[in-house]
Chains A and B, each alone.
Chain A
């Protein structure tokens, strides 16, 4: 039984929501921070309701609306969101005021909006969706957990439609703080050349991407979400076998993967292992990369899903994504994401 991708919405540091050919004009950033290109939110939400929404909530709501629009749905049966940092802006605002005002006269709105589940609940509120509503916040597995949950649900109820997404933002505070951990490139004049310049450090990214999944196929060609798996601190010695076992459950071998979409971050320390896996197991596959387009953030795999599905629909791999071209039509696509060496995940997509 297939789980079909019926619609997608993506707000990212690239032109991912405007009606243009996929990555026709990729945007190049200088510095260590990539910022989302945002639509006019009043297209998606009434101005009176927009007033209370912080940026990340608007991004999530709009991406969700785009996905539903593409799927031709008014309301899904369930809404599942993955977000690692949650609503950072409001958390920072409330914390700052609490300290500055010495706990006096604190505005409740930023506190209410600071909880991780605000994104998913706002979507539910706007759509009056009383169905299943879940929020995962397991760092770089947040989006994958959302997909796994959706797959479980649709296996039991294939007639339903589930909206699943991954959302994370950068704020000035969070960027300053993360910089202190030394994880970003000290100097970067071109994000698009991230992988051409071997160096320590990655680029900070953000985004909101939602997908509508259903067990009902509909007309025309279809792209299926086959399976998802997460690996927390996998042992180097057994990880390759786990990848092969994952593919075997889908009755596939590594050499049947047409495109490996690999979540390298641009930091040579962490990328070494990803490169080894790609060259040893997937030597006959085309290789694509994506974090030079969206930056590194815990739910970047949501961007990768949008990108991979778009490529499968177009049957074309944009040059800006392609690192190695084996000239095979992208029918079996494996997204392999890794995050600072600790979190590894696999998402398998197939045309069906």
Chain B
């Protein structure tokens, strides 16, 4: 899980072009949206693509997004329970 969280932080920084941040700047449970990192709806879509590209998980309904993308930790938990080979 720790490795996954570390990977995820790097992937998020790359996918969302958060060049001003380093992985250690993002807390595991820090809110990603609204407060915290302050990401928006376009970032949410990019995270959906990230799940597909890196973890082969397809999120058909964007409404599920807010729960899954609450923090890096919730993302990691979702990936762990849904990852297909």
Minimum distance in angstroms from B26 CB to a CB of chain A: 14
- For chain A, residues 30 to 77, give those with C-beta under 8 angstroms from any C-beta of chain B: 47-48, 51-52
Residue of B nearest to A106 (CB): B49
- A51 touching B16 by the CB < 8 A rule? yes
Q: What interface size band does chain B fall in?
A: 10 to 19
Q: What residues of chain A lie closer than 8 Å to B77, measured between beta carbons?
A: none
Residues facing A in B1-30 (CB within 8 A) are 15-20
| B34 at the binding interface (Cβ < 8 Å) | no
Within 8 Å CB of A52, what residues of B?
Answer: 17, 42
**Interchain CB contact (< 8 A) of A47 among B20, B46, B53:** B20
Interchain CB contact under 8 A, A108 and B42: yes
Contact B18 A108 (CB under 8 A): no
Question: Given A48-B38, A52-B42, A108 and B19 touching (CB < 8 A)?
Answer: no
- Shortest distance between the CB of B54 and any CB in chain A (Å): 10
Query: Which residues in A have their C-beta under 8 angstroms from that of B19?
Result: 47, 51
B53 touches A51 (CB 8 A): no
CA A112 – CA B16 in complex, angstroms?
A: 14
Q: What bracket does the count of chain A residues touching chain B fall in?
A: 10 to 19
Q: How far is the CA of A108 from the CA of B44 in the complex (A)?
A: 10
Does any Cβ of A come within 8 Å of B82's Cβ? no
Which residue from B17, B45, B49, B52 sits with its C-beta under 8 Å from A51? B17
Establish whether residues B53 and A108, one from each chain, have CB atoms under 8 Å apart when the complex forms: no
Give 1 or 0 for each of B37-53: 1 = CB within 8 Å of chain A CB. 01000100110010011
Chain A residues closer than 8 Å to B15, beta-carbon distance: 107
B54 (CB) vs chain A CBs: closest residue = A105
Nearest Cβ on chain B to A221's Cβ, whole angstroms: 43
Q: Are B18 and A51 in contact (CB under 8 A)?
A: yes
Shortest distance from the beta carbon of B25 to any chain A beta carbon, whole Å = 13
Decide if A107 touches B38 in the complex (CB within 8 Å). Answer: no
- For residue B45, which residue of chain A has the nearest CB? A108
Q: Does A109 contact B (CB under 8 A)?
A: yes
User: Which residues of A have CB within 8 Å of B38?
Assistant: 48
Which chain A residues in 134-173 approach chain B with CB under 8 Å?
A: none
Distance in angstroms from B9 CB to nearest chain A CB is: 16
Please list the 6 inter-chain residue pairs (A to B) with the smallest Cβ-Cβ separation, ordered nearest first. Answer: A51-B17, A105-B52, A108-B45, A47-B20, A105-B53, A107-B49
